[in-house]
Structure 1
Amino acid sequence: MKTSSTHQINKHRSAIIKYFLPSLFLSLPLFLFLLSLQSGHRRTTTVTTTIQAKPKPGSGDLLRIRPGYSSYDNYIQRQLNKTLNPKLRQIWTTRDWDRKIKVFSRFFDELKRQSLLSNDSRALCIGARVGQEVEALRRIGVSDSVGIDLVPYPPLVVKGDFHNQPFRNESFDFEFSNVFDHALFPEKFVAEIERTLRPGGVCVLHVSISRRADKYSANDLYSSEPLVQLFKSSDLVHVKKIDGFGLDTEVVFRKREN
């Protein structure tokens, strides 16, 4: 009796091994396939969430500082790489020279018609490189004009860092720049303008809002609103569209008298 029961148990075990194990092996690939689908779904969900989490222009992130600068010296060296590029300097002083002076003269003449600039203004051009802006001002009668850049270009441009202008407080009646996008510290860039601008003086910025600035830029601007917030001692005069060598917007401020 005992032997018969044992025999029956062994028989059941053999049946389980004979039919169950092959089924298990056959279903294993299907199980692994389903597992990979679930894992892939999780990865896709994560990526989608990350993309959606990025701030969009116009949703509060309107002025972005570009990453990648390990130190201020590293930032300065990158700016010098453009300013000292021999091919670019040759273009600026030859092929582009008269063309840019003509366009800048037109911009400045319009500002004179709006009483934002006069022949008596003491004017500063920030980030002037080889000084086409300065030359344009002088040609339309604003003779007391000078530019600053990391590399001097006498007699039009003196050496200076726009994060720390080499001028006394309230030195100028008019300041112009089309290199705001190269400012690593926009608040310092604007603070130096307001420091060196006389009460009632005018600052004109040409910026890129509708499109991304060049590869040497240190920030990207998506609205004029951050500029309004940065100019703490000045009032907004106007914002208008322009076509200025890749820049599309003119923003003008006047420093308050008091």
Structure 2
Amino acid sequence: MEKQIESLLNKISIVAIILATLTLILLFIQIPETCFNPNTILKPHQKFPKSSCDASHRTLTSPDKQSRRIWATKAWQNGVASLLTTFLDLRDQNHFHNNSHVLCVSAGAGHCVMAFKGVGVSEITAVEIVESPPLVSRADPHNLPFFDGVFDLGFSGVFDRALFPGRYAEEMERVVKVGGVCVVAVEECGERVVKEVGNLFRKSEVVGVKNVSLLGSRMTRIVMRVNAAS
């Protein structure tokens, strides 16, 4: 009985091996429908490269074209428009003029640069931890690479996100000349927070507070005039 069972198992094994072998042979000799048939005659631009050296490079979009595509979006234009409104208000209050040298700290992708250009300012410097050419250069807002008192106005639309607010304020204040202004925006707040922010700018006095809409968020804009040399 055992010999019969062993003989049956051997037969089954042989049949399984034969079927597996036939299946492999069929896979090798048959071209799947999804594969490229090497016998197909292709036009020159359709030919597959023989190696990576023969492969033509994909046409890449230049950084300038990429930037212009972003600037054309509705989200970008709305962001710039909101900043443009508050900058016009600041100019009307004589906090800066078209010949002022403006610094944008933590400038992000550069909305503030375009907004300042929109109100007529030509001399604008913008910095951020990660650069966004051609509008924004790379620099640490806690250690600004500028001489003392070289700007007429310093602006930050994200002051409440600073890792070290005291140092951030000190650096903004240092690079703005006496008589110039530091303008910061924080999440919409009351008098207590405004006073706390003002205290961080130890050589300046708060000369204006206003709730505004910036980049789709309700913010409180605080204007401080620098009264003492850094």
When the two structures are superposed, what TM-score results if normalisation uses the length of structure 2?
0.64
Cα distance per residue 1:101-144 (max 9 Å; x no partner):
11111111111110001101100111111111011101211010
1:234 correspondence with 2:213: no
1:208 correspondence with 2:187: yes
How far has the Cα of 1:92 moved from its partner?
7.7
| Closer/same/farther in 2, CA of residues 178 and 106 from structure 1, 3 Å limit | same
CA–CA distance in structure 2, aligned partners of residues 136 and 253 of structure 1: 20
1:1-258 equivalences under 5 Å are 94-210=73-189, 223-244=193-214, 245-256=216-227
In structure 1, list runs of 5 or more residues that go unmatched: 1-89, 212-220
CA–CA distance in structure 1, aligned partners of residues 203 and 181 of structure 2: 12
How far has the Cα of 1:222 moved from its partner?
6.2
How far has the Cα of 1:168 moved from its partner?
1.4
**Which secondary structure state, in structure 1, belongs to the residue aligned with residue 134 of structure 2?**
coil
The question of whether the paired residues in 2 share the 8 Å contact of 1:208 and 1:248 is answered with yes
The question of whether the paired residues in 1 share the 8 Å contact of 2:71 and 2:77 is answered with no
How far has the Cα of 1:95 moved from its partner?
3.6
| Closer/same/farther in 2, CA of residues 203 and 184 from structure 1, 3 Å limit | same
In structure 2, list runs of 5 or more residues that go unmatched: 1-68
CA–CA distance in structure 1, aligned partners of residues 78 and 211 of structure 2: 20
The question of whether the paired residues in 1 share the 8 Å contact of 2:203 and 2:228 is answered with no
CA–CA distance in structure 2, aligned partners of residues 126 and 179 of structure 1: 9
CA–CA distance in structure 1, aligned partners of residues 73 and 140 of structure 2: 25
The total of aligned residue pairs comes to 160
The question of whether the paired residues in 2 share the 8 Å contact of 1:108 and 1:117 is answered with no
| Closer/same/farther in 2, CA of residues 151 and 227 from structure 1, 3 Å limit | same
When the two structures are superposed, what TM-score results if normalisation uses the length of structure 1?
0.58
Q: State percent identity of aligned pairs.
A: 36
- What is the RMSD computed on CA atoms of the aligned residues? 2.2
Number of the residue aligned with 1:15: none
**Which secondary structure state, in structure 1, belongs to the residue aligned with residue 121 of structure 2?**
coil
How far has the Cα of 1:227 moved from its partner?
1.1
| Closer/same/farther in 2, CA of residues 255 and 210 from structure 1, 3 Å limit | closer
| Closer/same/farther in 2, CA of residues 252 and 191 from structure 1, 3 Å limit | same
**Which secondary structure state, in structure 2, belongs to the residue aligned with residue 130 of structure 1?**
coil
Matching residue's letter, 1:207? V
The question of whether the paired residues in 2 share the 8 Å contact of 1:199 and 1:256 is answered with yes
CA–CA distance in structure 1, aligned partners of residues 228 and 201 of structure 2: 14
The question of whether the paired residues in 2 share the 8 Å contact of 1:93 and 1:130 is answered with no
CA–CA distance in structure 1, aligned partners of residues 135 and 219 of structure 2: 26
Cα distance per residue 1:6-53 (max 9 Å; x no partner):
xxxxxxxxxxxxxxxxxxxxxxxxxxxxxxxxxxxxxxxxxxxxxxxx
| Closer/same/farther in 2, CA of residues 157 and 254 from structure 1, 3 Å limit | same
CA–CA distance in structure 2, aligned partners of residues 242 and 196 of structure 1: 25
